[in-house]
């Protein structure tokens, strides 16, 4: 297979990355790396069970096997791994931070996704897993190629989940699940410098860097990060 042209890939992704400035879901931030197909990110949860959590992750986009100067090979989903403190969530594998993207999208290519297989779509999915009220998938008869699969209500085999134990606890002991999540949230605040996402934060200033900080002014999550209300508040 021919190697991708880094300059062409970089140009294509630069346009898409620029689109995120005004269209990325709130609280989700992304930075490019030297590898044009890899990005590092951080998500700041503003409400719900994971309120005030700070999780870091990286995204690895699949190269296109037939058109190497672009990404997204049909049937090849982006890889998302959380780093540092791994979210306690049924959709995230506990030992390595792998996020089950395929459960969210039945297809990942331009035709089936109707041109929606973009970074912003992926970031929206990453955010959505922290706000779900229940976990399930839509059945085959009602599949919509642009619909996020885990929004369905059908019960599924527990082996399906990336984190079976979290899924089981979610279904059998909601209060116990919430306690686990709360502990996880506090740990995420205490270890913001772990993983590649540390570059969003300033060790010297003890807070959030430049432009990102400007966009978070006045928000409770910023006070948590910078210690004004103490860890775990």
Confidence tier at 111 by pLDDT (50, 70, 90):
low
Report the C-alpha gap between 107 and 48 in whole angstroms: 29
**According to the model, what pLDDT value does residue 179 have?**
98
CB–CB of 83/58 below 8 Å?
Answer: yes
**According to the model, what pLDDT value does residue 140 have?**
38
For the chain, the structural domain boundaries read 6-225
Q: Which of 22, 89, 80 is nearest to 53 (CA)?
A: 89
Mean pLDDT score across all residues of the chain: 73
**According to the model, what pLDDT value does residue 14 have?**
79
Please give the structure tokens belonging to residue 100. Answer: 């089950």
pLDDT, tens digit, 9 for 90 and up, residues 127-168:
999 998 876 443 333 333 333 344 343 343 444 689 989 988
CB–CB of 137/154 below 8 Å?
Answer: yes
Give the angle subtended at the CA of 140 by the CAs of 139 and 146, to the nearest 5°: 90
* Backbone dihedral angles phi then psi of residue 140, each to the nearest 5 degrees: -60, -35
Architecture, CATH, for domain 6-225: Roll (3.10)
pLDDT, tens digit, 9 for 90 and up, residues 62-107:
766 555 555 666 667 889 999 999 999 999 999 999 998 888 887 7
* Backbone dihedral angles phi then psi of residue 91, each to the nearest 5 degrees: -90, 0
pLDDT, tens digit, 9 for 90 and up, residues 179-222:
999 999 999 988 877 666 555 555 544 445 444 555 444 455 55
């Amino acid at each position: 297979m021919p190697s991708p042209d880094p300059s062409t890939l970089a140009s294509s992704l630069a346009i898409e990355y620029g689109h995120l400035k005004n269209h990325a879901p709130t609280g989700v931030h992304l930075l490019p790396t030297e590898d044009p197909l890899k990005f590092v990110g951080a998500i700041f949860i503003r409400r719900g069970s994971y309120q005030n959590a700070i999780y870091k992750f990286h995204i690895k986009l699949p190269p296109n096997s037939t058109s190497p100067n672009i990404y997204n090979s049909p049937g090849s989903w982006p890889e998302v791994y959380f780093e540092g403190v791994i979210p306690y969530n049924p959709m995230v594998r506990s030992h390595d931070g792998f996020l089950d993207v395929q459960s969210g999208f039945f297809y990942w290519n331009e035709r089936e996704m109707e041109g929606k297989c973009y970074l912003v779509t992926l970031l929206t999915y990453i955010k959505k897993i922290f706000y779900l009220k229940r976990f399930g998938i839509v059945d085959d008869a009602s599949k919509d190629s642009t619909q996020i699969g885990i929004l369905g209500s059908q019960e599924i085999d527990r082996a399906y989940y990336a984190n079976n134990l979290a899924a089981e606890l979610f279904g059998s002991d909601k209060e116990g699940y919430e306690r686990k999540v709360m502990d996880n949230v506090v740990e995420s605040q205490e270890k913001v410098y772990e993983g590649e996402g540390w570059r969003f934060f300033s060790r010297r200033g003890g807070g959030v860097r430049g432009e990102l900080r400007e966009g978070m002014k006045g928000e409770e999550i910023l006070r948590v990060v910078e210690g004004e209300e103490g860890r775990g508040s």
